[in-house]
Structure 1
Amino acid sequence: MSDTTDSESETPTRRDALKYGGTLATGVAFAGCAELIGQSGESDGQSGDGTTSGDGTYSVTMAPVGNVAFDSPPERIFTRLTHLAGMAFALGRGNDVNAMHAPDYYDQLWNQFTERLPGVTLDWSGLYSSWDPDKEMLYDLDSDVHLADPASVSALDSWDAADIEEIRETVSPWFGNTFSDRHGEPPAEWADRYEYYTLWEQFEKVAALFREEARYEALAAVHANLVDTLEENLPPERERPTVVMSGMSDTESMYVYTLDTPGFLTAHVRPLEPIGALGDDVSSGDTIDMEGMLEADPDVIFVLGGMHPETDMLEIRSTLQSHAVGRELSAVENGRVYPQGARYQGPILNLFQLEMTAKQLYPNVFGEWPTYTDGPYPEITAEERLFDRQEVADIISGEIDR
């Protein structure tokens, strides 16, 4: 792994300077992750999700599946969406995942970030691609838990309520929540039992499922400290840029996502409170053409998936600069077209993307984001980092006090 191993605890970092020095810092030190809520809807959850009975079995509750009982932590892990696969990874169980949506794509994307975590490895290549899973394949995989939302699976044409129940009874439980991504409507038969969770609330429940509460608490403290630093040092609203988050694979028909839509897809942007550039007539997931982008004329464009090895940021920037309309965009004129990682990000990518987005939006406060063309997450000096890579790597690897 190519990451500096200098002790960040001995080197004053930008995070330290923001917290304890400079005119912007408030001098309020972090007092505990359970006390931090102020993330515009993203909290670190509540404790006490798991309960243990006298015979050693334990149970965890999450909507829409309700209460799920286990006699030991699951080993073989089925997933669909990467926010849940990313939670397994954060708990040191990433290589126990046996299925996920587009595994080769996300293996490459996630490893753009793991490169900066000393000693941490991840291999999702070649796994079963489970966006629309075959029921018989679930029997073959014989997973100990299905980290997937049964309400979301039931929305597929190939599945019905009987199939969901059959897998639950004969293979293993379902445990996941998808519609918290944008607070979307679940299928009608699930609506009365559905609840919406933040990314870190859901992570806490997954951690309880694996009996990895200590890892969760350690990572939640890192996350809360990071968000605390960001929120204390945000510039006033008049100094914040306007932003569009977009997929740029087709610059004539671009998927866009609004910043004020609730849900964990914007968990790395919402705490930073940029100004959404899109009008009220545009919803998350809509497509717009270049004229529509110029109408919004954002100061910053975030390119979804821009960190993936197969995404050519140089080509995207060049296409925009040579486009008769695109070249007029403020973000293009000012060189503020930036890559992003994944929306279904999981907790570790959330940490990196909070740091990345803070630097992209407010370089004068949080430090410059290196001009990115390709390769892994850019190397940032220890002094300029907003969280400790070695600390996070140690937590993933289980090197924490329990």
Structure 2
Amino acid sequence: MLDERARARAWLDLHDGLQSEIQSRLPADADTPSIALINGGSAPGEGEFYVLNLEDNGYEMKPYRDLGLVEADAFAGVETGQYGATDYETMLEVDPDLILVHWGITTGSVTFDGDGAFDAEAFHEQYVAPMEDDDVGSQLAAVQAGRVLPGPTAEQGPLVNAFQTELTARLFYPEEFGAVDPEAPFEVPEDDRLFDRDRVQAILDGEAA
């Protein structure tokens, strides 16, 4: 069995390998879509959005930093209200290529009184459909392109971060890392996996070298 130091080294090795794989395959900056990261507490049905800052420190934004996405923040320098509050009109002025819902990947999950890992229908009903039905929201490029997507959670240790970094890479660069199935975002074809699941299991079991 691994002691805690050996387990920590194993996680760091896995993390470094994942980062090396991603960095070697990242597209040029010109191919990076502009992003609006909205809080999961946003209410598109009421025209209320709460924009998050990708430059924030801490582990919450780590997947975005690691993927070099901070510079793609569509709302950088845009004036918003308290807690990043904004509306459809401002969203359309900014018109990001992609709208990502922070914590969206947990919609309908056991985390929020659901009965599974992710409920695609609930996500569409709560976030996507109201934008499609709004006169202004329906004009957003991300809405028209079907790129209102469930984003990672804020809470993440080394295990969750590995899966969320892989998910984020696939959300932003589907042509390079493989497209996310919106009905089953946690299911990754073996050829698209960016780290070894067997090694993760070995670390969890205390058996990784």
**TM tier relative to shorter chain:** 0.7 to 0.9
Instruction: Give the equivalent residue in structure 2 for 1:313.
Output: 123
Shift of 1:219: 1.1
1:221 counterpart letter in structure 2: D
Bigger helix share: 2
TM-score by length of 2: 0.82
Pick aligned residue for 2:87 from 285, 289, 292 = 289
SS of alignment partner, residue 51 of structure 2: strand
**Contact 1:279–1:296 (Cα < 8 Å) also in 2:** no
Determine the structure 2 residue equivalent to 1:255.
50
Aligned partner of 1:244 in structure 2 is 36
Find the residue that maps to 2:143 and give its secondary structure: helix
Q: Which segments of 5 or more consecutive residues in structure 1 lack a partner in the other structure?
A: 1-91, 93-210
Q: Secondary structure at the match of 1:368?
A: coil
Query: Displacement, 1:224?
Result: 1.0
Q: State the Cα distance separating 1:248 from its structure 2 match.
A: 4.3
From 367, 372, 388, give the equivalent of 2:178.
367
- Match of residue 278 from structure 1: 75
Q: Which whole-Å deviations, capped at 9, do the CAs of 1:268-317 have from their partners, x for residues lacking one? A: 11121231100414479411112222222111111112122426212121
Give me the whole-angstrom Cα distance separating, in 1, the residues matched to 2:129 and 2:105.
17
Query: Contact conserved, 1:265 with 1:343, CA < 8 A, in 2?
Result: yes
| Divergent runs of 4+, >6 A | none
- In 2, distance between residues paired with 1:319 and 1:379? 27
For residues 50 and 4 of structure 2, what CA distance do their matches in structure 1 show? 37
Distance 1:396 1:293 in 2: 43
CA distance in 1, matches of 2:92, 2:107: 28
Give the whole-Å Cα distance in 1 for the aligned partners of 2:40 and 2:131: 10
Alignment-derived partner of residue 340 in structure 1: 151
What letter is aligned with 2:61?
T
Q: Secondary structure at the match of 1:320?
A: helix
* Separation (CA, whole Å) in 2 of partners of 1:256 and 1:264: 18
Corresponding pairs, count: 189
User: Which residue in the other structure is 1:148 paired with?
Assistant: none
Q: Is the 8 A contact 2:53 2:76 kept in 1?
A: no
The CA deviation at 1:400 is 2.1
TM-score (norm 1): 0.44
Pick aligned residue for 1:303 from 87, 101, 115: 101
Task: Give the match's secondary structure for 1:371.
Answer: coil
Question: Corresponding residue for 2:115?
Answer: none
1:395–1:282 distance in 2 versus 1, CA, 3 Å: farther
Distance 1:382 1:340, change over 3 A: same
Q: Do residues 225 (structure 1) and 36 (structure 2) align? A: no
Partner-residue secondary structure (3-state), 1:324: coil
Q: What amino acid is the match of 1:241?
A: P
Residues 282 and 397 from structure 1, CA distance in 2 versus in 1: closer, same or farther, beyond 3 angstroms? farther
Partner letter of residue 73 of structure 2?
G
Identity across matched positions, percent: 32
How do 1:51-70 and structure 2 match up within 5 A? none
| Structure 2: distance between partners of 1:282 and 1:223 | 36
Secondary structure of the structure 2 residue equivalent to 1:354 = helix
Structure 2: which 5+ residue stretches go unaligned?
A: 109-118
Instruction: Write out aligned runs for 1:13-162 (5 A).
Output: none
Aligned to 2:139: 328
Q: Which residue, out of 369, 386, 389, partners 2:194?
A: 386
CA deviation after TM superposition for structure 1 residue 212, in Å: 0.8
| 1:299 maps to amino acid | D
**Which structure features the higher share of strand residues?**
1
Counterpart residue identity of residue 286, structure 1: G
SS of equivalent residue, structure 1 residue 391: helix
Rg larger in structure: 1
Q: Residue 303 of structure 1 contacts residue 338 of structure 1 at CA under 8 Å; is this kept in 2?
A: yes
Deviations 1:135-171 (CA, angstroms, capped at 9, x unpaired): xxxxxxxxxxxxxxxxxxxxxxxxxxxxxxxxxxxxx
Q: Deviations over 1:11-53 (max 9, x none)?
A: xxxxxxxxxxxxxxxxxxxxxxxxxxxxxxxxxxxxxxxxxxx
